[in-house]
Amino acid sequence: MRRAEAQAGSLRLALCDPAQPARPDPPRPGRVVVVAVLASCACSILLAAIAPANLVLRGLLFAIALGATAVAVHLLLRTAARTRTPGGPHLVLDQRGLSIVRPSGAQDLLVPLRPSFGVTILASATRDKVVMALTAPGRVLCIGADVSSHSVVRRRLLELLPLTVTVAGDDLDMSTVLPDGTSLIVSDAEWGALLDALIATDATALERCYLSDSRGEVIVLTRDRLRTARAVFRLDQRFDWRAWVFHEAVRMPGTMFQATSVRQGKDEVVFVSLMGPDVRASIHDAVRIQHATADDFLQRDARLSDAPIGLAPPLDRRIAIDRLFMLPLRRALDRAQAVTRPSLPGDASLR
């Protein structure tokens, strides 16, 4: 794994309040008075140094100097208000990982960066919401941002579309909320800065994803491996996979599940999760919007999310995962199957 030699300090990310637009803090009145007095003194010293004999010229020069000083003070105060440390909770990325700093000053580590981590990019069908799923063994954290049509992050998102997976907007919104109700939404510029910092730390993070099953066992998905507690699948060799939906009429009447099976040699597992919002519906709505019609990856994700109704898989083969990662899993299997080599003789799932 390639890592940056050192990170310069830490990256601070202010959280956005979904209910209110971000506003700069107003400057303190006392500070404004002090700055105004200092500016007046500076203008008086300047006039004393120049001291023109004409009183009219002296007054005009004083007015110009005072006006220019006032403009400069206003700009400085606005900059200070924007860059002031946020009073609410905020995120900090440092050598340990990504942490949240509470208003009390307490800092809690949310996701460690060592020994390794993964990054999965998720986006809404209209590409106006983006989520970065940061995964590590036993940890999943989603950081989101709203993306405008003229945002720098939107241009970056278009470059990452081959690795980006479409997810229904409802699931994206819920994924960024912590158990205590804190919403991990940052500005689009800070979201892009966080992604750049993570890639600089580990350039292979976009090709790695850590998941956990219902028993807490770690699942690791990389470009050429799918590691589970039951088997290890070589994705650079021939394998089979398929997707379907099924009813669990006995245990949970009326509940729909989605399944993705992976089979290689004598090994087979079936990943299952609850059905979420229909991704295909959001994709079909998105193609009516002009900027989404040229996005071929929407159709790719629509194909991968489409699955027939089938039988419930055997219980001993099931691995339950978060439904947010079902389509990313299928996308990785689909991509790997397109470039697989013929399998070796015998069982190709050797570790």
Task: Tell whether 213 is covered by a domain.
Answer: no
Q: Which residues contact 239 (CB under 8 A, 6 or more apart)?
A: 233, 262, 263, 264, 333, 336, 337, 340, 343, 348
> Same domain, yes or no, for 275 and 151?
no
Q: What is the DSSP letter of 162?
A: G
Residues 8 and 67 in one domain: no
Whether 216 is in a domain gets the answer no
Rounded CA separation 310/190 (Å): 44
CB proximity list for 110: less than 8 A, separation 6 or greater: 91, 97, 98, 99, 100, 139, 141
Distance from C-alpha of 152 to C-alpha of 147, rounded to nearest angstrom: 9
Closest among 16, 7, 12, 9 to 188, alpha carbons compared: 16
Instruction: Report the distance separating Cα 59 and Cα 65, nearest Å.
Output: 10
d(CA 66, CA 72): 10
**Do 38 and 2 lie in a common domain?**
no
Which residue range forms the structural domain that includes residue 57?
A: 29-83
pTM, to two decimals: 0.74
Domain count, the chain: 3
Residues 176, 233, single domain; the answer is no
Whole-number pLDDT of residue 25: 41
| Tens-digit pLDDT profile for residues 304-337 | 988 899 999 999 999 999 999 999 999 999 999 8
Burial of 305 (0-12, 13-18, 19+ CB in 10 A): buried
Tokens of 273: 């999760």
Of the listed ranges 44-58, 61-75, 260-274, the least confidently predicted one is: 44-58
Cα–Cα distance measured from residue 77 to residue 83, given in angstroms and rounded to the nearest whole number: 10
Rounded to whole angstroms, how far apart are CA atoms 134 and 89?
19
Query: Contact, 15 vs 91, CB < 8 A?
Result: yes
Do residues 44 and 161 share a domain? no
Q: What does the alpha-carbon distance between residue 28 and residue 188 come to, in Å, rounded to a whole number?
A: 28
Reported as a single tens digit per residue, the pLDDT across 69-113 is 666 666 666 655 544 444 578 999 998 899 999 888 889 999 999
Specify which of 152-156, 165-169, 250-254, 259-263 reaches the highest per-range mean pLDDT: 259-263
Domain for residue 122, yes or no? yes
| Rounded-to-integer distance, Cα 310 and Cα 330, Å | 17
Distance CA 346, CA 262 (A): 17
